[in-house]
Structure 1
Amino acid sequence: MSEFSFANLNPDRILDAIESIGVYPETGLLPLNSYENRVYQFKAEDGKRYVTKFYRPERWSEAQIKEEHAFAFELANEEVPIVAPVEIAGESLFEHAGYKFALFPSVGGRQFEIDNLDQLEMLGRYIGRLHLVGKSKPFQHRLSINTQSYLLDAKEVIQNSKLVPIHLETAFYTILEQVISQTAQMYHVDKPIRLHGDAHAGNILCTGDSLTLVDLDDCRSGPAIQDLWMMLNGDKNEQLMQLDTLLMGYEEFNSFDAKELQLIEPLRAMRMVHYMGWLAARWEDPAFTRNFSWFATDKYWEQQILALKEQLAALQEPALQLFP
């Protein structure tokens, strides 16, 4: 079994790792909803609640993880509401028994309401401030959002997995190729910046009258619209209203290039294909076969054929335009 499955990360090893940095849990470890990494919440003897994250081996290099942390500290120093890791003796990335891990303060809150326009405007302000920091300098080690990794590499992983049912292969790969070709023609980024990278509702917490952004695990370089488009849902008029609200807040702090609206559907296509490739790449991890059992069913791949056809049509539609 590949090491990336966390096969050797048992509760005793997790506790030993946490205690190795001078933090002593007084409660049990509560697993949090994360499949890519292993994440646990606990209360320590100092009375504080923490979250510890064990990074999946072989996914990010040490330099890439440290750059994620540095970005979080940079944002926090500029008062962008992000959960940054805890530093102990000047370090935020630790290692125990071959596993790299970090400690974060536990932040409570309710889930972001994607249809709440007040919250959308507030999020727009926060993302605008995040991008103001993000464009001040480039990443040196983190990856970019690009068609090679999100489309071509993902397709290769899917093919090698042999998970697509034989009788659906022709239909699936035919439409997949069309989506990849169309997306590659449309996806061009003039001014990539450092991004949150995965700014969906699950990574935003509402605390009182404010929002907190969490989880920079997927921070990458790419177009600014990447951190905005996942907030858009519903029909075209609803999306225009949501976009206008987001940008009303965003442009209080930062300018937005309207040409990037043409990247929304290509980015959606890339996320769809990348997600399938991600599941296929992790399929030997028991946590994935247990929690995503539908991934190996005929029904799932039939649905993906339909979804890709709909996405190809969306790619050929005119892009959203801002209200005049």
Structure 2
Amino acid sequence: MTDHGFDFHTLTPDVQLNAIESVGIYPQSGLLALNSYENRVAQFVADDGQRYVVKFYRPGRWSNAQILEEHAFCHELAQADIPVVAPIYREGTSLFTAEGFRFALFPSVGGRGFEVDNWDQLEAVGRYLGRLHQVGAATPFQERAKFDLDSHLYQPRQVLNEASLIPEGIQATFFSDLDHLIDAIAARWHTDWPAIRLHGDCHPSNILWRDGPLFVDFDDTRNGPAIQDLWLFLNGSRADQLAQLDTLAEGYREFREFPADQLQLIEPLRGLRMVHYMAWLAKRWQDPAFPRAFPWFADAKYWEGQVLAFKEQLATLQAPPLTLYP
């Protein structure tokens, strides 16, 4: 299951420029590469004076139907006055193809970084996520994937087993502790929640701050429990997380009932993300961009640290789940 295939080596600047011009937009500046590894993303200024972002999708990851469903969701959110960056339509479509690459164009928008420790901003994020989930709950995705143990836990476990990146001296301990963590997550996982359309990867770096939050990068949008879009804002001590959770809930409740019955999923979801992230790096390691960007991933100290992280997450899973203030 390791990705031996694609490293974007044929996506040259000329290919990118020709692709953009094929849909009637003509760059007048160079392409400024933006921070993206799964896909290739660049910003440019066109001859109409507008700034755009072009996103070239990694082949084989999503089907055309899945990408178009993502785009349609973004437009549905934008039409509901929820601040998202939606793709641009040209001649009735938002997904284009050139020389074997699929790509989309977006308006380039600016903004400051979202301040996680700013209570007013955190409450506003909760408010807008309540609105986003209102729209997301109207109807589920038909093509996009769903949060489940297979895609985020069992398949990643297989990827790590096949990747041959873990130092031989700690392999037995690593996989033993990983399997203990997997068993603990599976024992606490349940699917007794409505599957709604989510942002899917709603961490602070995917929010820009203007007059309020602006949600970007819906590449990982999928069906799942509402709490998935909320727990990534929780950090620090348990007391810190309780205060953050209460602030998010205060804003969220203005538009939608807060999913308090899903709080027990927070630590299982944190464990899923931990395992899935390692497997994502391992699966993409043949792409030269990944060793350059994540050199520590090949260091034995990283894998030793993950063994400790497994133990810490296992202990957290055994603690009582977070609860809202009464």
TM-score, L = length of structure 2 = 0.98
For residues 89 and 231 of structure 2, the distance between their equivalents in structure 1, rounded to whole angstroms, comes to: 33
Of 114, 117, 120, 1:115 maps to: 117
Structure 1 residue identity aligned to 2:238: K
For residues 305 and 238 of structure 2, the distance between their equivalents in structure 1, rounded to whole angstroms, comes to: 23
For residues 66 and 195 of structure 2, the distance between their equivalents in structure 1, rounded to whole angstroms, comes to: 18
For residues 223 and 59 of structure 1, the distance between their equivalents in structure 2, rounded to whole angstroms, comes to: 22
Shift of 1:109: 0.6
For residues 284 and 222 of structure 2, the distance between their equivalents in structure 1, rounded to whole angstroms, comes to: 21
Of 182, 202, 206, 2:209 maps to: 206
For residues 235 and 290 of structure 1, the distance between their equivalents in structure 2, rounded to whole angstroms, comes to: 33
What is the correspondence of 1:165-180 to structure 2 with a 5 Å cutoff? 165-180=167-182
Structure 2 residue identity aligned to 1:192: A
Q: Which runs of 5+ in 2 are unaligned?
A: none
Aligned position for 2:222: 220
For residues 134 and 300 of structure 2, the distance between their equivalents in structure 1, rounded to whole angstroms, comes to: 45
Structure 2 residue identity aligned to 1:202: S
Secondary structure class of the residue paired with 1:4 = coil
Is 1:4–1:58's contact at 8 Å kept on the other side of the alignment? no
| Counterpart check, 1:24 vs 2:29 | no
Structure 1 residue identity aligned to 2:208: L
Shift of 1:71: 0.4
User: Structure 1's 166 and 3: CA in aligned 2 closer, same or farther, altered over 3 A?
Assistant: closer
Is 2:181–2:314's contact at 8 Å kept on the other side of the alignment? yes
Structure 1 residue identity aligned to 2:112: R
Is 1:131–1:193's contact at 8 Å kept on the other side of the alignment? yes
Shift of 1:2: 4.8
Q: Which runs of 5+ in 1 are unaligned?
A: none
Shift of 1:185: 1.4
Secondary structure class of the residue paired with 2:97 = strand
Aligned position for 2:104: 102
Shift of 1:268: 0.2
Of 192, 195, 199, 1:196 maps to: 199
User: Matched residues, percent identical?
Assistant: 58
Secondary structure class of the residue paired with 1:268 = helix
Is 1:179–1:312's contact at 8 Å kept on the other side of the alignment? yes
Structure 1 residue identity aligned to 2:227: I
Is 1:82–1:213's contact at 8 Å kept on the other side of the alignment? yes
For residues 244 and 255 of structure 1, the distance between their equivalents in structure 2, rounded to whole angstroms, comes to: 13
User: Structure 1's 17 and 3: CA in aligned 2 closer, same or farther, altered over 3 A?
Assistant: farther
Of 265, 268, 279, 1:277 maps to: 279
| Counterpart check, 1:9 vs 2:5 | no
Structure 1 residue identity aligned to 2:321: A
For residues 36 and 189 of structure 2, the distance between their equivalents in structure 1, rounded to whole angstroms, comes to: 30
| Counterpart check, 1:89 vs 2:91 | yes
What is the correspondence of 1:1-80 to structure 2 with a 5 Å cutoff? 2-80=4-82
TM-score, L = length of structure 1 = 0.98
Cα deviations across residues 259-306 of structure 1 (Å, max 9, x unaligned)? 100000000000000000000000000000111111111100000000
For residues 223 and 281 of structure 1, the distance between their equivalents in structure 2, rounded to whole angstroms, comes to: 26
Shift of 1:150: 0.7
For residues 211 and 155 of structure 1, the distance between their equivalents in structure 2, rounded to whole angstroms, comes to: 35
Aligned position for 1:304: 306
What is the correspondence of 1:239-250 to structure 2 with a 5 Å cutoff? 239-250=241-252
Is 1:76–1:82's contact at 8 Å kept on the other side of the alignment? yes
For residues 56 and 245 of structure 2, the distance between their equivalents in structure 1, rounded to whole angstroms, comes to: 35
Cα deviations across residues 66-118 of structure 1 (Å, max 9, x unaligned)? 00001001101111111000111111000000000000000101110001000
For residues 213 and 272 of structure 2, the distance between their equivalents in structure 1, rounded to whole angstroms, comes to: 27
What is the correspondence of 1:247-262 to structure 2 with a 5 Å cutoff? 247-262=249-264
Is 1:189–1:222's contact at 8 Å kept on the other side of the alignment? no
Secondary structure class of the residue paired with 2:143 = coil
Structure 2 residue identity aligned to 1:124: G
Aligned position for 2:185: 183
Shift of 1:49: 0.2
Shift of 1:257: 2.4
| Counterpart check, 1:291 vs 2:293 | yes
Secondary structure class of the residue paired with 1:145 = coil
For residues 53 and 97 of structure 1, the distance between their equivalents in structure 2, rounded to whole angstroms, comes to: 15
For residues 80 and 291 of structure 2, the distance between their equivalents in structure 1, rounded to whole angstroms, comes to: 41
Shift of 1:256: 1.6
For residues 3 and 11 of structure 1, the distance between their equivalents in structure 2, rounded to whole angstroms, comes to: 21
Aligned position for 1:161: 163
Structure 2 residue identity aligned to 1:170: A
